[in-house]
Amino acid sequence: MRSLFFALLGVILIFSSGCGSTDAMPARLRDRFNPPEPKTQVFDAEQRAVFAAAQVALKRMDFQISRAGLAQGIINSHSRIQPSDSFGKARQYVLEVRLHSYEPGKTEVAATLREQEESTSFAGATDLPIREHGLYSSFFEGVSQALREAK
């Protein structure tokens, strides 16, 4: 009976704390609840040209395109699975790209990078957003280079 009381009290405390209390959480835990802001860059080109250049940049970075739609302005891609030295551990990056033209001749590209890792030390895989990584700058530079080559 006593353990039931404490369990019920714990549940009440969790629900009464609400989602607004994420500021008091450690940064690593807070990052899991707050979605990352995508990295954006605006290119002086039509959406069709930027869409093609983004696909070229991803292929040069050795990413496989798993979903692409020009009308929706979406490109989803993933890297190869990178095994680790420890048994049963592997990592893969997923790059989600969104394109939007706000005015003729200008296209905004928003990219979000996620790291997926699987390990035998815990059940299941992690899917963590990466807020800062060199792949962002490599991707945007690759898009710029592909646009210059297309002209």
Helix (H, G, I), strand (E, B) or coil at 26: coil
Tens-place pLDDT, residues 93-109: 999 999 999 889 999 99
Place of tokens 């292929």: 59
Domain assignments of the chain as residue spans, ordered by start = 1-34, 36-150
* Both structure tokens of 39: 């990295």
29 residue type, one letter:
L
Topology classification of domain 36-150? Alpha-D-Glucose-1,6-Bisphosphate; Chain A, domain 4 (3.30.530)
Contact 101, 107 (CB under 8 A): yes
First-last CA distance in the chain: 75
Q: Where are the alpha helices (DSSP H) in the chain?
A: 2-17, 27-33, 47-60, 134-150
Among 5-19, 23-37, 71-85, which range has the highest average pLDDT? Answer: 71-85
What predicted TM-score, i.e. pTM, was given to this entire model? 0.74
- pLDDT higher than 90, residue 136: yes
